[in-house]
Structures are given as structure tokens and as C-alpha cells.
């Protein structure tokens, strides 16, 4: 590593990743450590101009340790999920050369270099808008960019999954399917793009933020409780979701909004039913949420076909 003559250099990379909204939900893990889900899921990736994470990663021989700031506040990087992503990207790092700065980094030197990470969400964090999905997808993508990683998006999605399950779907735009996989090591649990963002360009997604407060029950602990206590979850994962996945893929392919809307609403309702079937029960909706759902149902019923 050409550090001796110019020990104070800093190499940076910046990336942006949007959040995603699941239309067939991911809820429940079959492996907590590897973040392997109990069922496939499908999501739509949102416009990064409206809901996204922007991350800048810097590496320098002057940094004594890895550090991270989220929305201007320093957070710990000691957690296993952050470390998993850092480890997997560093394993895949390649030689980097910046002639203008006189920097030459060999792939084996990335294990010795520390990074500083600054990430910013342009929407509320931990409020049910999949901030961790955007954050970990952006982290993995930007680390890969900095370290000259050559893996395809599928492999990057598998790494992002180890930070936050839904993050694997934010690696792609458009409609994305997270294949749950069968292998115990998680090697086949990754995201695939069903169609790109231009496929259904007249589809409009409205985000109604009914509360910007942090969720009382985190997704991680909520899923764990559901897997341990809800009989409905297993029925959903094994009996209901496989058929819905096939129908949703067909609706997306054909731009069939009526089927798309009915499936999305039905799956959302069942997700919340599973949460209520959990002990102790989990409440992710408030009175405003219920009023919006009632309004949508009445509007759709009055028109005869789904409008929203």
C-alpha cells in the first residue's frame, strides 16, 4: 500500500439507495443469524428523490478505527449486522489505484484500513418506512464501490440481507422478489429483479406518514416473537404466500392493477393479523391508519373496482 509517503490521504465514495415497500410481506426468519426468511416476498422500490438513504464512505490510513454517523449522530458499529456487511465486502475487495492522489491499495490491505461512514435518510428513521432497508443496501453498495468490488447485484443483495432482510430488495429498482432460498448457509437467499422501474411507470405510490415516531416494537424483536408464538404465521408462510407470489408476479407482468391492489391489501391485512396473533400482540397501525383504510375500502367499493 502506497501510504508511507502520503499517510494523510482520504479515499471516498458516495451512493444512494431508495427504500422499498413490500406488496407481499416479509415477516419471520427461519435463521436469525443469517437473516433467512420463512417465505418469499415481493416489493416495489420507491423513487430515491423522495425516500432514500445517502451514504459516504471514507478510508484513510489516518483512521484508527471504523466509525459511523447516522443523520449526524454517531452510532456503534460493533453490532453483528454491520460487521457482517463490512467483513463480506472486505473479503471481496480488489486493488484500487487513484493516480491523482497517488494512492495504490492492494486487495489484502483493505483488511487493515479503517473506514468512516456517514449516512443520511431523507425520511423518518425506524418509523415503518423501511429505513434499515435503504440504509444497509446503501452501505453495502457504497462500500463495494469504494473497495472496487466486482460482484453482481444478486451477490450484493445477499450481503445486504445480512444487515437487514429487506435491504436485499433495495439493491434493485422496479419490482423485486426476495427468494427465501433452501440452503442452510443462505447462499441462495437473494433478491432478483422482476421488472425494472420503467415497466409500470404510470403506477403512483402515495406515502402517508401517520406518525414519525419510532416503532414501539422493532421489526427484529417483533418477528422473533411472531415466529415463537403465532400459529397463523406458519399457515401464512407455507399455504398462503406461495400462491400469492405467483398471482402477484402475473399481475405485475400484465399491469393488472385490480389484481395487484386486491393482493396487496389482502397481504397487508394478513400481516397485521399475524402481528395480532403474536404474544404479546404487536400493533403497527394507529387510529389514523384505520381511518385511511376505511376510506380506501369505501372508495373502492363505491367504484366497483380498486382505485387505490
Specify burial of residue 231 (Cβ count, 10 A radius: 0-12, 13-18, 19+): exposed
Alpha-carbon span 101 to 151, nearest angstrom: 26
Alpha-carbon span 106 to 95, nearest angstrom: 4
Low-confidence ranges of the chain (pLDDT < 50): 2-5
Alpha-carbon span 156 to 39, nearest angstrom: 20
Q: Residue 173 half-sphere exposure, CB side, CA atoms within 13 Å?
A: 13
**Angle at CA of residue 301, ends 299 and 306, nearest 5°:** 75
pLDDT tens-digit map of 140-167:
999 999 999 999 999 999 999 999 999 9
Number of Cβ within a 10 Å radius of residue 236? 24
17 - beta bridge partners? Answer: 53
Alpha-carbon span 153 to 65, nearest angstrom: 28
pLDDT at residue 4, rounded to an integer? 46
* Coil vs helix vs strand at 302: helix
pTM of the entire structure? 0.92
Alpha-carbon span 291 to 275, nearest angstrom: 19
Contacts of 246 (CB under 8 A, 6+ apart): none
Mean pLDDT of the chain: 93
Greatest pairwise CA separation for the chain in angstroms = 74
Amino acid at each position: 500500500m502506497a501510504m508511507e509517503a502520503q499517510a494523510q490521504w482520504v479515499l471516498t465514495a458516495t451512493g444512494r439507495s431508495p427504500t422499498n415497500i413490500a406488496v407481499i410481506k416479509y415477516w419471520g426468519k427461519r435463521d436469525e443469524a443469517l437473516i433467512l426468511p420463512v417465505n418469499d416476498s415481493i416489493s416495489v422500490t420507491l423513487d430515491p428523490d423522495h425516500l432514500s438513504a445517502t451514504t459516504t464512505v471514507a478510508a484513510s490510513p489516518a483512521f484508527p478505527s471504523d466509525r459511523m454517523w447516522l443523520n449526524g449522530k454517531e452510532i456503534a458499529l460493533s453490532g453483528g449486522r454491520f460487521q457482517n456487511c463490512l467483513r463480506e465486502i472486505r473479503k471481496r475487495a480488489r486493488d484500487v489505484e487513484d493516480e491523482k492522489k497517488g494512492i495504490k491499495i492492494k486487495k489484502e490491505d483493505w483488511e487493515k484500513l479503517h473506514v468512516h461512514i456517514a449516512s443520511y435518510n431523507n425520511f423518518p428513521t425506524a418509523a415503518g418506512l423501511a429505513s434499515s432497508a435503504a440504509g444497509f443496501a446503501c452501505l453495502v453498495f457504497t462500500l463495494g464501490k469504494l473497495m472496487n468490488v466486482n460482484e453482481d447485484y444478486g451477490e450484493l443483495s445477499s450481503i445486504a440481507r445480512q444487515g437487514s432482510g429487506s435491504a436485499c430488495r433495495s439493491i434493485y429498482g422496479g419490482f423485486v422478489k426476495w427468494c427465501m432460498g433452501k440452503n442452510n448457509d443462505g447462499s441462495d437467499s437473494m433478491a432478483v429483479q422482476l421488472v425494472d422501474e420503467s415497466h409500470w411507470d404510470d403506477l403512483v405510490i402515495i406515502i402517508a406518514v401517520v406518525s414519525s415516531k419510532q416503532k414501539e416494537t422493532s421489526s427484529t424483536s417483533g418477528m422473533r416473537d411472531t415466529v415463537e408464538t403465532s400459529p397463523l404465521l406458519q399457515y401464512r408462510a407455507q399455504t398462503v404466500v406461495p400462491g400469492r407470489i405467483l398471482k402477484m408476479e402475473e399481475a405485475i407482468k400484465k399491469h393488472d392493477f385490480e389484481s395487484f391492489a386486491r393482493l396487496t391489501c389482502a397481504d397487508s391485512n394478513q400481516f397485521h393479523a399475524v402481528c395480532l396473533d403474536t404474544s404479546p400482540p404487536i400493533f403497527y397501525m394507529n387510529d389514523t391508519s384505520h381511518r385511511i383504510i376505511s376510506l380506501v375500502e369505501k372508495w373502492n367499493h363505491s367504484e366497483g373496482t380498486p382505485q387505490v
